[in-house]
Amino acid sequence: MTASKSTAASTAEEVRRRIEAGGERFWRLADFDDLPFPTAVAKALSRLAHRRHLRRLSRGVYYRARTTTFGDSLPNPAALQQLAGERAPVFPAGLAAANLLGFSTQTPRTQEVATTATSLPRALLGAGTVVHTRRPKAWVQLTHEDAALLDLLRERGRTSELSPEATTQRVLAQLGDGDRFARLVRVAATEPPRVRALLGAFGQVLRAPDESLLRLRRSLNPLSRFEFGVFGVLPTAEAWQAKTRRVA
Please state whether 113 falls in left (phi above 0), alpha (psi between -120 and 50) or beta: beta
pLDDT above 60 for 1: no
Concatenated DSSP letters of 171-192 = HHHHHTSTTHHHHHHHHGGGS-
* pLDDT exceeds cutoff 70 at 2: no
For the cut 60, the answer to whether the pLDDT of residue 3 exceeds it is: no
Question: Of residues 245 and 56, which shows the higher confidence score?
Answer: 56
Q: List C-alpha distances in Å: 237 to 94, 111, 233.
A: 23, 32, 7
Q: What is the pLDDT of residue 76?
A: 67
Mean pLDDT of the chain: 88
pLDDT in tens, 40-98: 898 989 999 888 889 887 778 888 988 887 778 777 666 666 666 666 788 999 999 99
Give the start-end residues of each E strand in 21-180.
25-28, 55-58, 61-64, 67-68, 71-72, 90-92, 112-115, 130-132
37 by Cβ neighbours in 10 Å (0-12 / 13-18 / 19+) ranks as: middle
Q: Are strands 130-132 and 112-115 parallel, antiparallel or unpaired?
A: parallel
> Minimal CA–CA distance to 62: which of 85, 87, 42, 91?
42
- Residues in Cβ contact with 183 at an 8 Å cutoff, skipping those fewer than 6 apart: 141, 142, 146
For 150-197, write each residue's pLDDT tens digit.
Answer: 999 999 999 999 999 999 999 999 999 999 999 999 999 999 999 999
**Cα–Cα distance for residue pair 164/85, rounded to 1 Å:** 33
Half-sphere exposure of 202 (CA within 13 A, CB side): 30
For 54, other C-beta atoms within 10 Å of its C-beta total 21
DSSP one-letter code for 247: -
pLDDT the model gives residue 66: 87
Residue whose C-alpha is closest to residue 184's, from 193, 192, 175, 197: 175
3-class SS of residue 30: helix
- With bands split at pLDDT 50, 70 and 90, how would you rate the model's confidence at 117? confident
pLDDT at 81: 67
Query: Hey, what domains does the chain have and what are their CATH numbers?
Result: 3-72 (1.10.10), 77-161 (no CATH), 162-248 (no CATH)
Distances (CA, A) of 142 to 78, 145, 182, 195: 20, 8, 12, 16
With a cut of 50, say whether residue 248 has pLDDT above it: no
